[in-house]
Amino acid sequence: MNSEELNTLLEETFGFMFEEELLKEIAASGTYQKLSHDEILMDQGDVMTDMPLILSGAVKILRDDDDGHELLLYFLEPGDTCAMSFSCCMAQKKSKIRAVTEGKVELIMIPATQMDTWLGKYPTWRTFVFDSIRIRMDEFIEAVDSLAFMQLDERLLKYLRDRVKVVGETDLKVTHQQIAYDLNTSRVVVSRLLKRLEKDGKIKIGRSHLQVLEM
DNA sequence: ACATTAAGTGATT
DNA sequence: AATCACTTAATGT
Residue-wise pLDDT for A168-180, tens only, equals: 888 989 999 999 9
Residue whose CA lies closest to nucleotide C9 C1'? A207
**Statement: the CB of A92 is under 7 Å from strand B:** no
Give buried/exposed letters for A102-118 (b at 16+ CB in 10 A, else e): bbebbbbbbebebbeeb
Residue A15's SS3 state is: coil
**Statement: the CB of A194 is under 7 Å from strand B:** yes
What whole-number distance in Å separates Cα of residue A150 and Cα of residue A143?
A: 10
- The pTM (predicted TM-score) of the whole model is 0.78
**Statement: the CB of A147 is under 7 Å from strand B:** no
Distance of A188 CA from C7 C1′ (whole Å) = 14
pLDDT category at A208 given cuts 50, 70, 90 is: confident
Q: What is the DSSP letter of A93?
A: P
Distance of A178 CA from C2 C1′ (whole Å) = 17
pLDDT on residue A14: 82
What whole-number distance in Å separates Cα of residue A125 and Cα of residue A181?
A: 36
Distance of A208 CA from C13 C1′ (whole Å) = 19
**Statement: the CB of A153 is under 7 Å from strand C:** yes
Distance of A1 CA from C13 C1′ (whole Å) = 38
**Statement: the CB of A151 is under 7 Å from strand C:** yes
Distance of CA A186 to the CA centre of its chain: 23
Q: How far is CA A65 from CA A23, A71, A73, A98, A188, in A?
A: 38, 8, 12, 11, 21
* pLDDT tens by residue, A33-65: 999 888 888 888 888 888 899 998 889 888 876
Contacts of A48 (CB under 8 A, 6+ apart): A42, A85, A88, A89, A92, A93, A94, A95, A112
Handedness of CA A33, A64, A140, A177 (dihedral sign): positive
Name the nucleotide nearest A189; use CA and C1'.
C1
Distance of A189 CA from C2 C1′ (whole Å) = 8
Nucleotides of C under 7 A from a protein CB: 1-5, 10-11
**Statement: the CB of A189 is under 7 Å from strand C:** yes
Taking 90 as the threshold, does the pLDDT of residue A68 lie above it? Answer: no
